[in-house]
Each structure stands twice: as C-alpha cells, then as structure tokens.
Amino acid sequence: MDTNYKAGEKMSSLIEVKNVSKIYRMGDEKIVALNNISFSMEKGKFYCLLGTSGSGKSTLLNLLAGLEKPNKGEIRIKNALISKMNEKQLAKFRQNNIGFVFQSYNLLPMLTALENVSLPLTFKGENKKVRDKKAKALLKAVGLSERLNHRPNQMSGGQQQRVSIARAFIGKPDIVFADEPTGNLDTKTSKEVMELITSMARENNQTLVIVTHDIEIADYADYVVYIRDGLIEKIEKAMEAKEVL
Ligand code: ADP
Ligand code: MG
C-alpha cells in the first residue's frame, strides 16, 4: 500500500475527502448517511461542522478520524490514505496524528484524571515519569491541578470534559476532532470548554474540527462547514462573514 507523499507530487491539503459515501444497511433499508461528498481542510484552521440532528455530522467525523470506513471514496490525511488502512495501521496513525473529544467524555471510569490523561502516552511507549509530568502540566493548563486523583464519577461534567480535552491534546496531535463537546454542558461551562479547546489548538497551530448543532459554536471557527442530509451544502469563511457585520 502506498500512503506516503512522493517527491514531485502536488502538495495537498491536510485533509482531503474525495467522493466519499457512507451507507448503513438496516435489514432491507438503506440509509445514506453521506452522499458522495468531496472537500478539503487546511492545516492550523478551526472548522465547525454544522448541521441538524441526523444530517451525517458524527458519521463524517468518525470517518475523518479513521474510526469508521467509507463504503466509497478516499480520505487522505497528511497524504496518507487512511480510508484504506487496516486496524493496526489506523491505530498507529491515530496515536501519532489525531486527538478526539466525545460528547459523553468517554473517560475510563476506573482510572484517575491523571491516569486517563497519560494513557495515550502509555501506548506511545513513554516512561511513567515523563507521562506523569506531561499529564500534570496539561491538567494544570485545563485548571484541574486539584483533581489529579479524582475518578470520572467524582467530577462534574465540565471537569470530565476538561480531562478529556487534556487527553486529546497530550500527544500533540496535528488534528483534534470533537463531536458535540459541549452537548452535555450548561451555557457557562460550554463557553469555558470552547475557549479551552480553541486556545490550546491555536497555541500549537493544530487543526480543529468540531461537530455541533449549536450555531454559537460557529462564532469561534475560521470556517463553517454546513452539512445537510449527507451533503456538504457550503463551506463559509467565518471571519469574512463577521467582518461584513
Ligand atoms: P448527526 O451526527 O448529524 O446527528 P449521524 O452521522 O449520527 O448524524 O447519522 C446520520 C444518519 O445515519 C442518520 O439518519 C442516522 O440514523 C444514520 N446512522 C448513523 N449511524 C448509524 C448506524 N451505525 N447504523 C445505522 N444508521 C446509522
Ligand atoms: Mg452526532
């Protein structure tokens, strides 16, 4: 399999999606979650994927993160053809390049905040001293220095999401994907969580792709990707839209 960039080839975007379809089969019924979509995303930008419930947002994010496979089409990240990778290749690719934040946090219940955050570094083979040092620094950055030994059920929703943000960023991935990261949080906490994610991504010039049905999240983005019935309606440069106002 050839997933590497070759000299002489045109430099491409960070994320490239070409003619991608995702179809779910439920008995006799066919659900077209993504209908032959193509677009690209640039490094260091913040994209907000906006659409109503059932429009295909989570499906698209899962495909981009290599958590699911398309039925048709190609997905390239940093020129690597992730849509054709096997599970082992994908796991390694994700470890080195991708962080993911879930709506329901998805922390491991038996592990402390410190252990949850340092877990991705365990898979990368870092020693415990380095892992703990980095995890403590990140938990401090998200304002949880006083909660290192708390387990998920001993923390509020907002605190759990901050732990999961620290976990997503600890490996310094090029791309962080987040699926409705503020979906379970109140307005004030949502704002804090959004400010945290965006400032962490900007600091390291990381690319951020956040799925939401909340139009207010779009205020933080560089680009808004409108998705509807499995189709990309348009991609709008958010800054320009704001400058006009
Ligand atoms: P969103 O995240 O925008 O709410 P999804 O991507 O979760 O939407 O779903 C898009 C469509 O695909 C919906 O009609 C949904 O019911 C369907 N769908 C999603 N996942 C599955 C699945 N695993 N099996 C069958 N249908 C699915
Ligand atoms: Mg969803």
Structure confidence at residue 4 (pLDDT): 53
Phi, psi of 80 (to 5 degrees): -90, 130
CB burial of 42-80 (b: ≥16 within 10 Å; e: otherwise) equals eeebbbbbbbeeebbbbbbbbbbbbbeebeebebbbbbb
Nearest to 104 by CA among 178, 47, 53: 178
Structure confidence at residue 2 (pLDDT): 47
**CA 35: distance to chain centroid?**
21
Phi, psi of 15 (to 5 degrees): -120, 130
Whole-number Å distance between alpha carbons of 220 and 195:
8
This prediction has a pTM of 0.91
Whole-number Å distance between alpha carbons of 230 and 10:
29
Ligand 1 and 190: CB distance under 6 A: no
Ligand 1 and 57: CB distance under 6 A: yes
Which residues lie closer than 8 Å to 16 by C-beta, 6 or more apart?
A: 40, 74, 75, 76, 77
- In CATH, what number does 42-67+96-240 get? 3.40.50.300
Structure confidence at residue 17 (pLDDT): 97
Structure confidence at residue 245 (pLDDT): 47
Of 59, 68, 71, the residue with max ligand 1 atoms within 8 A of its CB, to mutate for a pocket test, comes to 59
Tell me the residue type at 101: V
26: which strand partners? Answer: 29
Give, using CA atoms, the residue closest to atom 23 of ligand 1: 24
Query: In the chain, where are the structural domains located?
Result: 42-67+96-240
Give, using CA atoms, the residue closest to atom 16 of ligand 1: 54
Token digits of residue 203: 């600091």
Ligand 1 and 59: CB distance under 6 A: yes
Q: What is the pLDDT along the chain (245 residues), one digit of tens a residue?
A: 445 555 555 567 999 999 999 999 999 999 999 999 999 999 999 999 999 999 999 999 999 999 999 999 999 999 999 999 999 999 999 999 999 999 999 999 999 999 999 999 998 889 999 999 999 999 999 999 999 999 999 999 999 999 999 999 999 999 999 999 999 999 999 999 999 999 999 999 999 999 998 888 888 899 999 999 999 999 998 865 555 54
